[in-house]
Structure 1
Amino acid sequence: MKKKLLLVLSILLNSYLLSAQIFTVNNIQYNVISTNEVEIITYLGSDTNIEIPNTAESNNITYQVVKIKNGAFYQKGLTSASIPSSIVTIESGAFSSNQLTSVFISNGVLTIGSDAFSNNSLTSISLPNSITFIGDSAFANNVITNIDIPDNVISLGKYAFVSNLLETVVLGANLENIGESAFNNNSISEIVIPNKVTTIKKNAFSSNSIENITIGSGVTNIEEGAFLYNPVVNVTSLSTTPANLPLSAFDNNFNISLTIPENTSEVYANAGWVDFGSVNGETLELETFIIDEIEYSIINLGLRHVEIENYYGSSIDLVLPSEVVHEGSTYKITEIGDLVFKNKNLSSVILPNNLTRIGYDSFSHNNLLTITIPDNVYTIDSYAFKDNQLISVNLSSKVNYIGNEAFSENVLTNVLIPNDVKIIGNAAFYDNSIRTLTIGSSVQKIGSYAFHSNKITNVTIPDNVITISNLAFYGNKIKNLIIGNGLKTIGVSAFNNNLLRTVIIPENVKSIEYFAFDNNPVSEVFCKSSKPFLYNDLFANKNNIDLTIPADSYYAYNDSYWIGFKSITDGTDLIDTTINQIPGLLLISNHGTISNNLQEYVSLKIYNTKGQQVLNNNLNGIYIVVANDSLGNMVVKKMYVQ
């Protein structure tokens, strides 16, 4: 009995020691999790390009590397990573908050955990067929443009690909669940939902550019906002027993052509699929009526909502009613249709209090001087007020979408973007006279040409803004610019042709495109990141610019072509690039060896007092150290080592 007890204790002790064994190879720290398997728990190195091995050896035992633990490579300044086929699991935050532009994931990985690759600069990613699960926010806040979800993926977590630049998405055949906001805030143009998908969560595809949607036959649950804030034109649903459709699934059913299986019209109507512009090619003949030269169309009979369809009058000063009575029933005016008041020579208009949507091109090419957007309006479609004489606009606090050229070619001088707005469309305020601009705290994307050709003098970019697109602020008079900490990309010529003297680039900015700050009298630039992006001809006069960068980052900036500036200050050290020096170099003596803090860029040679080169170990006495950097600079220093 005693021998058996000792045997059991021995087994338990060996098991404990095995599980607790930690060792380091090539700056990667491993933890033993079985007799032949290890997991990566942290990275101790400084290389920005990492290739993870299939195996790791310790005490003459070779282990398979099967897992990357939570946060193992978090904030390590990585620019590329290669993950081998031995890895089965990539846990939460494993590669989050780096500067990754490329990642290779080998076939064999099954699970990608939450935030695994979030907050990087990935432009593309190829997912292997082995993957079955993609966690919450796994690829959030990158700049990925295209993605194919492998057929073995069953579930996509919430926010999985939120806030990228996705244009094309292909969903795998075996996908079942699409998480909340999984593809929110991208540029997707069309989407096909596979037949095995059962659930499309809240806001899964909201805030994109989707025009065409195919919904697979297996979908049984569509949550609110699933396709909101998209210019949807065509929806094809393949199910004969459709999911209940919430009122807010799409922006405006009346603008959508719906295609459904034959002989299912009644079951679709009972599930809330109502008020579409056409069903299976047959135009929906909603009742219309005319009151006081305005034609109304009933767009929701149950809620008694109407849309203004046409205007047949000649008055140039309009007060639009909030409600109208037709055949004894009172209807609320909730929408103004496309093109209704275009080119009607209007001088003034008061909008209905119950209004929620102002349609495409609805008031363009008039002579409006002022406009107040009612409190319930959440969508202002493209070209809505283009080419008027607007000197002021009061936007309601609920507005969350301002379409392309919505207020272009006016004479606005003061603009306040409400806090609920997430996207400011292309050229939304192009060619005005804006001097004062306040951008709401929820804005995530500022479109191309959005504020081009104005007179703006001060701009504060809120922390939630991720993208400032091409030419967004071109041709203003901006003297003061504050860029929020969330910004990741600045487009071509975004701030070109202004009056900026100082530019501060936050730490999280991953790329700035050509000529972004060209034609400005810039004299000083402050960069906050120690891992710079490639320089792309941002400033025309950089030989007149004093550049300040984080301490000990001079070589990283040099490698990224931040060169040719008037001066460079590394932390607090002013670097004179015309003399022979190695900026930021520290030589360190420790236990008979000499090392330096810039090993990636600087090599050392050690000489004794007789001028003989010696090995860098077991040193004891006085030595001459010769340091050479990658730019050809050399420093010679006498050191005492013991």
Structure 2
Amino acid sequence: MKIKKIVASALLLCMIASLSACGEKENTTSNTTSNNISQSSTSSTNIINPEYHNNIYSDIKYESSNKNNDYEYIEYVDHVQITKYLGSQTDVTIPSKINDKPVTCIGGDVDTSALGEDPSLFGENINKVTIPDTVTTIGEYAFGNCPNLSNITIPDSVINIYYRNSWTPFKNTKWYDNQPNGIVYAGKIALDYKADNNETTKNTNITIKDDTIGIAPYAFYNQENISSITIPNSVKSIGECAFKDCKNLSNISIPDSVINIGDCAFGGTKWFENQNDGIVYAGKVAYEYKGIIDETEKLIFKNDTVGIADHSFNNALSLAEVIIPNNVEYIGDYAFYNSEIKSLSIGNNVKIIGDHAFAGCYLANVTIPDKVITIGKSAFSDCAFTNITIPNNVEIIESSAFNGCIKLRTINIGNSVISIGEDAFRGCENLKEVKLGNNIKYIGPQAFFNCSKIENIVLPDSITYIGDSAFEYLYSDYEIGTIPTQGKASSLIQ
């Protein structure tokens, strides 16, 4: 689901260590907010840190559309995304599981072309909805244009709320219309800011309430009256364009708890204008480079840096050297995209490498640290290294992660990997040796498409699904050859 993120990519690791429905539960105290939004306690296990990333679950799907009596949905390798309500009830309790997989997303990047100019996924009649604590993401349009919807139960497990253009998931609902002026909260997310149209002062001081865990992109967009904002220590994530074009915003209190900051979060503010050239920090996050990066530049971050923001150093043309210190745990989406880095050192505590983080960098050498949990979509596409080892903490290799790495010759995939996404190694035309881990369940469509020099692949018994053309053009004669396999896996090749 690649859409504008309202709640930035934070908070993955509260559940990512388990890609299923989280096993044992750690109870927290339930809070109830005003304005008919209730919050239930969150459930999590194997908590490393309650932060990071845009998705707890994989983007690897089995089917693009399914139906039961009440819902249309997309079934992924480890979760379900509800894309439309088909029932007629006005009081709806969303199920926690479909097909024995946790429902983690409502709405999202779905086809709304058949729904008209003002799409509604839940219809006009719904007036109450209860969301289960398996849900981590509320996607665009989810409850928009439900004019009678006045009562929503949002669990603390919701850490991502998506946004497209002017569409929040709650646009044109009675719930949103009834919110007073000021910050609008959806669960523990600062969703939006409602201002009085007659407000003329340019000296508004904003304090976000304690226990807020994320700030939506565009939440305060173009609010010229705001001059200062205080962010509590509970906030882990500041979303894309969250304060963009708040022209009079000069004073921002950013706590050390913030791990991830979205693209252009502070663009067009006095705060950013007042920063010196060089690496600009927002709290302990390397937010952006101000000025022009020389091709001989050696980027050395502060030792206490904990995150590198989305889009922070992309299109830098050429960097002599990038040294990412050991305290960094999150490298954001597109962080170094298309920057042609000559030398890269990734600190050994990095856990998340975001989508397209190093795509187009033509890296000749890279070592993925052992603590990495997620390698994002197209994270290393078109790089120039010759071998790669996927460490044992990685469970998902997302789509196109190493697509087009034409010099890659050997890959060694750790035993924790359960899924290899679509096009993951597509076009690695010099790849000869592939060692797969023993627990892989899913190999996506065209995962090894046109890897014409591979000599053999041993497919373990654990595999339950192999997508279309996953091994097409595996050999130089452009036919699928005889692949040494174990047990049932050979029969799954399409």
Question: TM-score scaled by structure 2?
Answer: 0.57
Give yes or no for contact 1:391–1:412 (8 Å, CA) kept in 2.
Answer: yes
Question: Structure 1 unaligned runs (5+)?
Answer: 1-118, 220-236, 288-297, 311-325, 562-642
SS in 2 for 1:202: coil
2:82 touches 2:106 (CA, 8 Å); kept in 1? no
CA shift digits 1:374-400 (9 cap, x unpaired): 635445122534314141221564543
Aligned to 1:162: 104
Alpha-carbon separation, structure 2, partners of 1:213 and 1:302: 23
1:619-642 C-alpha deviation (Å, 9 max, x unpaired) = xxxxxxxxxxxxxxxxxxxxxxxx
Q: Distance in 2 between matches of 1:160 and 1:125?
A: 15
Counterpart in 2 of 1:149? 85
CA contact (8 A) 2:368 2:389 kept: yes
Amino acid aligned to 1:127: N
Retained in 1: the 8 A contact 2:457–2:483? yes
Relative to 1, partners in 2 of residues 1:365 and 1:512: Cα closer, same or farther, differing over 3 Å?
A: same
In structure 2, how many angstroms separate the alpha carbons of the residues matched to 1:167 and 1:450?
24
Q: Does residue 480 of the first structure (1) align with residue 480 of the second (2)?
A: no
- Match 2:396 to one of 452, 466, 471: 466
**Residue matched to 1:122:** 63
The 8 Å contact of residues 142 and 164 in structure 1, kept in 2 or not, is answered as no
**CA distance in 1 between partners of 2:391 and 2:107 (Å):** 19
Q: Deviations over 1:292-315 (max 9, x none)?
A: xxxxxx443899x9x9999xxxxx
Matched residue, 1:182 = 135
Distance in 2, matches of 1:286 and 1:424, equals 31
The 3-state SS of whatever aligns with 2:454 is coil
Once the two structures are TM-superposed, the CA of residue 281 in structure 1 deviates from its matched residue by 8.9
2:334 alignment partner, one of 404, 408, 411: 404
Correspondence list, 1:295-374, <5 A: 298-300=228-230, 337-338=266-267, 349=278, 352=281, 354-356=283-285, 358-359=287-288, 365-367=293-295, 368-372=297-301
Residues 440 and 141 from structure 1, CA distance in 2 versus in 1: closer, same or farther, beyond 3 angstroms?
farther
Which letter maps to 1:428? F
Whether 1:240 and 2:172 are equivalent positions in the alignment is: no
Question: How many pairs were matched up?
Answer: 376
Q: 1:519-534 alignment to 2 at 5 Å? A: 519=451, 521-529=453-461, 531-534=464-467
Deviation of 1:438 (Å): 1.0
Aligned: 1:192 with 2:143: yes
- Is the strand fraction higher in 1 or 2? 1
CA contact (8 A) 1:466 1:487 kept: yes
Equivalent residue runs for 1:35-50 within 5 Å: none
Write the deviation string for residues 36-67 of structure 1: whole angstroms up to 9, x where unpaired: xxxxxxxxxxxxxxxxxxxxxxxxxxxxxxxx
Deviation at 1:464, TM superposition (A): 4.6
Q: 1:239 to 1:374 in 2, by over 3 A?
A: farther
| Whole-Å separation in 1 of the counterparts to 2:162 and 2:392 | 21
- Report the more deviating stretch, 237-246 or 444-453: 237-246
Distance 1:489 1:477, change over 3 A: closer
1:285 and 2:225 aligned: yes
Structure 1 counterpart of 2:168: 213
Pairwise CA distance, 1:147: 1.6
Tell whether the 8 Å contact from 1:491 to 1:513 is kept in structure 2 after alignment: yes
Map of 1:433 onto structure 2: 363
Aligned position for 1:381: 310
Aligned 8 A contact 2:254 2:282 in 1: no
Aligned residue in 2 for 1:50? none
SS of the residue corresponding to residue 459 of structure 1 reads strand
Aligned ranges 1:579-618 → 2 under 5 Å: none
1:445–1:190: structure 2 CA closer, same or farther, 3 Å change rule?
farther
State the distance in 1 between where 2:380 and 2:391 align. Answer: 13
Cα distance in 2 between the residues matched to 1:371 and 1:516: 36
What is the percentage of aligned positions where both structures have the same residue? 7
Cα–Cα, structure 1 residues 434 and 371, in superposed 2: closer, same or farther, change >3 Å?
farther
Deviation at 1:270, TM superposition (A): 8.4
Superposed displacement of residue 533, structure 1 = 2.4
Structure 2 unaligned blocks of 5 or more: 1-59, 112-120, 236-241
Label 1:218 to 1:441 Cα distance change in 2 as closer, same or farther (>3 A). farther
Q: Deviations along 1:535-576, whole A, 9 cap, x unmatched?
A: 51151337696522223665x34xx44xxxxxxxxxxxxxxx
User: In the alignment, is the contact (CA less than 8 A) between 2:140 and 2:169 conserved in 1?
Assistant: no
Paired amino acid for 2:109:
E
| Structure with the greater alpha carbon radius of gyration | 1
Q: CA RMSD in A?
A: 5.4
Letter in 2 for 1:125: N
1:182 positional shift: 1.2
Does 1 or 2 have the higher relative contact order (CA < 8 Å, sep 6+)? 2
1:548 and 2:477 correspond: no
Q: Is the 8 A contact 2:418 2:442 kept in 1?
A: no
CA distance in 2, matches of 1:299, 1:280: 10
1:123 counterpart letter in structure 2: S
Query: Secondary structure in 2 aligned to 1:547?
Result: coil
- Name the amino acid aligned to 1:479: T
1-side partners of 2:188 and 2:427: how far apart? 37
Q: How much does 1:487 deviate? A: 1.2
